[in-house]
Amino acid sequence: MLTFHSEDTKKRQAKTELHAGELVAPFECPERVDIVIDRVRKVGLGEIRSPDAYGLDPVLAVHDRRYIEFLENACDDWAAAGFKGEPIPSIWPTRRLRDDVIPANIDGRIGYYALAAETSLCLGTFAAAQASKDIALSALDHVMRTGEPAFGLCRPPGHHAAVDQFGGYCFFNNAAIAAQHALNNGMKKVAILDIDFHHGNGTQDIFYERDDVLFLSLHGDPRDEFPYFLGFADETGRGKGEGFNVNYPLPSGTDYATWASTLDDAIQRIAAYQAEILIVSLGVDTFENDPISSFKLKSEDYIDCGRRLKALGIPTTFLLEGGYAVEEIGINTVNVLTGFEG
Ligand code: SP5
Ligand code: ZN
């Protein structure tokens, strides 16, 4: 299987994450990329290619123009305001406040465009997010051209990013950008299967009223887990999108037996939909030793997961999302891919 990879994904080197009331070193760190690519090389997964440059048009097909401009300039605006730390929001247009006025002051504007406060911005973030979506698009294009699978070693991840919001370590929604690109290039039915531990709120939101993208997500029950405010089972889509959004919230402590039988239900729905292309939002924060998550998958389980996905027989693009047990992120991610290769 081809891997798409770029060193530019490591240009995001934030110093801080707001975690449990403290500023800590971010869980979503550049070393994740090195460890995954080392494992790809070690197992001989296949050729490693650099992505093509697609520019911002495919991003504009999914995200709001002013949001993109905000991301590009936020660090400069923050510094110009005299703020010393990394950009972090401290106020949002929550219930009983207005969300129809975009603040001029960067302190307010960052809250308008953020869905969470843990994700600090930093100077290299925009460049890394661009590399990440280029990787997703290159992988998707390879799959569309050849029918062969591909792995996009995306970083930063994307599935929490909504039309005009960043957060959960995500800025551009790589899976959504790739899915829209597939539709714009002749595909009629795309499925996105999100197996990251966290609900893919951004992806769900982007396609919620549409029937040309089937979105399915297995994740920690939002009553207990980030992003808390989306990802419940009764969110099934709206309008012509009704029935094209499927959430599988699962309890803390979920092991592979339960997780895999849930995966099989999702796989059956993808088959029934007759998707022409499958995008897997591949997070491995379902791992038993993940520092911020609560499922109990073991390294060998990821091989079996890959095998089950292969049985669908649909051209498949894997895009990296989360996974914070950094020592094992290479083994776990690549196990899915080798399981898929058979
Ligand atoms: C792409 C991705 O996996 N993003 C995850 C973002 C999660 N950010 C907030 C995590 C809050 C963790 N709370 C720790 C609770 C310990 N069980
Ligand atoms: Zn996650």
**SS (HEC) of the chain:** CEEECCHHHHHCCCCCEEECCEEECCCCCCHHHHHHHHHHHHHCCCCEECCCCCCCHHHHCCCCHHHHHHHHHHHHHHHHCCCCCCCCCCCCCCCCCCCCCCCCCHHHHHHHCECCCCECCCCCHHHHHHHHHHHHHHHHHHHHHHCCCEEECCCCCCCCCECCEEECCECCCHHHHHHHHHHHCCCCCEEEEECCCCCCHHHHHHHCCCCCEEEEEEEECCCCCCCCCCCCCCCCCCHHHCCCEEEEEECCCCCHHHHHHHHHHHHHHHHHHCCCEEEEEECCCCECCCCCCCCCECCCHHHHHHHHHHCCCCCEEEEECCCCCHHHHHHHHHHHHHHHHC
Any atom of ligand 1 within 6 Å of the Cβ of 292: yes
List beta partners, residue 245. 215
**Spacing of C-alpha 230 from chain mean position:** 15
148 φ/ψ angles, rounded to the nearest 5 degrees: -85, 155
**What does the pLDDT read at residue 330?**
98
**Two tokens, residue 126:** 């925009």
Which ligand has the minimum distance to the alpha carbon of residue 292?
A: 1
Assign residue 303 the CATH number of its domain: 3.40.800.20
Q: pTM of this prediction?
A: 0.99
- Tell the residue nearest (CA) to atom 6 of ligand 1: 168
Q: Is residue 77 one of the residues assigned to a domain? A: no
Q: Is residue 307 one of the residues assigned to a domain? A: yes
Residue closest to 210 by CA, chosen among 46, 62, 91: 62
List 160, 198, 199, 219, catalytic entry? 160
Sheet architecture: strand order including 48-49: 48-49, 2-4, 150-152, 316-320, 277-282, 190-194, 213-220, 245-250
**What does the pLDDT read at residue 182?**
98
Furthest-apart CA atoms within the chain: distance in Å: 55
**Two tokens, residue 196:** 């990251």
Active site residue 160: yes
**What does the pLDDT read at residue 181?**
99
Q: Is residue 165 one of the residues assigned to a domain? A: yes
- Tell the residue nearest (CA) to atom 2 of ligand 1: 322
Which ligand has the minimum distance to the alpha carbon of residue 18?
A: 1
**Two tokens, residue 141:** 């294009």
Which ligand has the minimum distance to the alpha carbon of residue 320?
A: 1
Q: Is residue 227 one of the residues assigned to a domain? A: yes
Q: Is residue 85 one of the residues assigned to a domain? A: no
Distance from the alpha carbon of residue 312 to the mean position of ligand 2, in angstroms: 24
Any atom of ligand 1 within 6 Å of the Cβ of 168: yes
**Best of 169, 173, 221 for a ligand 1 pocket test (most atoms within 8 Å of beta carbon):** 169
Q: Which residues surround ligand 2, an ion (CB under 5 A)?
A: 196-198, 283, 285, 322
Rounded Cα distance, 279 and 339, in Å: 16
Structural domain tally of the chain? 1
CB under 8 Å to 24, separation ≥6 — which residues?
Answer: 16, 17
Rounded Cα distance, 12 and 87, in Å: 13
Q: Is residue 87 one of the residues assigned to a domain? A: no
Q: Is residue 105 one of the residues assigned to a domain? A: no
**What does the pLDDT read at residue 311?**
97
**Two tokens, residue 242:** 């009704």
209 is in which domain, residue-wise?
2-65+123-341
Any atom of ligand 1 within 6 Å of the Cβ of 226: yes
Q: Is residue 46 one of the residues assigned to a domain? A: yes
Any atom of ligand 1 within 6 Å of the Cβ of 127: no
- Tell the residue nearest (CA) to atom 4 of ligand 1: 168
188 φ/ψ angles, rounded to the nearest 5 degrees: -110, -30
Distance from the alpha carbon of residue 276 to the mean position of ligand 1, in angstroms: 32
Any atom of ligand 1 within 6 Å of the Cβ of 117: no
Q: Which ligand 1 atom minimizes the distance to the CA of 198?
A: 3
Pair type for strands 245-250 and 277-282 = unpaired
Distance from the alpha carbon of residue 342 to the mean position of ligand 1, in angstroms: 32
Any atom of ligand 1 within 6 Å of the Cβ of 290: no
- Tell the residue nearest (CA) to atom 12 of ligand 1: 292
**Spacing of C-alpha 322 from chain mean position:** 7
Any atom of ligand 1 within 6 Å of the Cβ of 200: no
**Best of 171, 292, 295, 333 for a ligand 1 pocket test (most atoms within 8 Å of beta carbon):** 292
Rounded Cα distance, 161 and 212, in Å: 20
Rounded Cα distance, 138 and 179, in Å: 12
**Two tokens, residue 276:** 């022409």
Which ligand has the minimum distance to the alpha carbon of residue 119?
A: 1
Q: How does pLDDT run along the chain (342 residues), one tens digit per residue?
A: 999 999 999 999 999 999 999 999 999 999 999 999 999 999 999 999 999 999 999 999 999 999 999 999 999 999 999 999 999 999 999 999 999 999 999 999 999 999 999 999 999 999 999 999 999 999 999 999 999 999 999 999 999 999 999 999 999 999 999 999 999 999 999 999 999 999 999 999 999 999 999 999 999 999 999 999 999 999 999 999 999 999 999 999 999 999 999 999 999 999 999 999 999 999 999 999 999 999 999 999 999 999 999 999 999 999 999 999 999 999 999 999 999 999
Distance from the alpha carbon of residue 258 to the mean position of ligand 2, in angstroms: 19
End-to-end alpha carbon distance in the chain: 11
